[in-house]
């Protein structure tokens, strides 16, 4: 699937300055990070994880300013920045600078927002059933965070409904690990 996404991005004109932006969006625990890692390995892409941009479990609705600071300068071939959120300390840590690159992969819930759609070269939607996603999240983060995960899942569902992200995607990916990726 990484090869198909990469080839699609290369067939399209640059949309982020002289570079291309692939947004890998979809619900938490669906497999977005795995796909982003495969794209990075295949193409040497720079990857930015949305998890570093949210200001905590209820930060999805407030991530727009972070995306502006990252993407708007890159659209003019200038370095963009974001403040990395430290989930253990529950506060922002250092400012991260991201230089222009031929391929930037923005991975995570909300990466395919309408507000930045004009900068996106290819929008990928990764999905998996809710139960599997919750299981993956609790294995990774620990069972003590189940309520945070459930709250997050409600927030992201509201976000996706408002943004119509899945319907706008260029590529649909089955994140269950099955061998049936889909292209619309």
- Distance, in Å, from the CA atom of 122 to the CA atom of 19, rounded to the nearest integer, reads 12
In a domain, 49, yes or no: yes
pLDDT one-digit tens code per residue, 119-174: 999 999 999 999 999 999 999 999 999 999 999 999 999 999 999 999 999 999 99
If one counts the domains in the chain, the total is 1
In a domain, 6, yes or no: no
pLDDT band at residue 178, thresholds of 50, 70 and 90?
Answer: low
The CATH number of residue 79's host domain is 3.40.50.300
In a domain, 183, yes or no: no
pLDDT band at residue 13, thresholds of 50, 70 and 90?
Answer: very high
Give start and end residues of each alpha helix (H) in 21-176.
Answer: 32-43, 64-74, 130-141, 146-163, 165-168
pTM: 0.93
Rounded to the nearest 10 degrees, what angle do helices 146-163 and 130-141 cross at?
A: 130
Q: What is the mean pLDDT of residues 40-54?
A: 96
């Amino acid at each position: 699937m990484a090869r198909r996404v990469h080839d699609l991005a290369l067939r399209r004109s640059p949309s982020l300055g002289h570079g291309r932006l692939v947004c890998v969006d979809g619900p938490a625990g669906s497999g977005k990070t795995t796909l982003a890692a495969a794209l990075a390995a295949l193409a040497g892409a720079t990857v930015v994880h949305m998890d570093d941009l949210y200001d905590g479990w209820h930060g999805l609705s407030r991530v727009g300013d972070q995306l502006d600071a990252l993407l708007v300068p890159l659209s003019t071939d200038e370095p963009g920045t974001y403040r990395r959120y430290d989930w253990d300390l529950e506060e922002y840590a250092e400012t991260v600078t991201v230089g222009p690159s031929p391929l930037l992969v923005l991975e995570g819930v909300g990466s395919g927002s309408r507000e930045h759609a004009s900068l996106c070269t290819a929008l990928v939607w990764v999905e998996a059933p809710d139960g599997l996603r919750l299981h993956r999240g609790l294995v990774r983060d620990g069972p003590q965070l189940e309520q945070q995960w459930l709250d997050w899942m409600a927030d992201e569902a509201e976000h996706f409904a408002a943004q119509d992200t899945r319907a706008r995607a260029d590529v649909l990916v089955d994140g269950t690990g099955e061998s049936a990726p889909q292209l619309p």
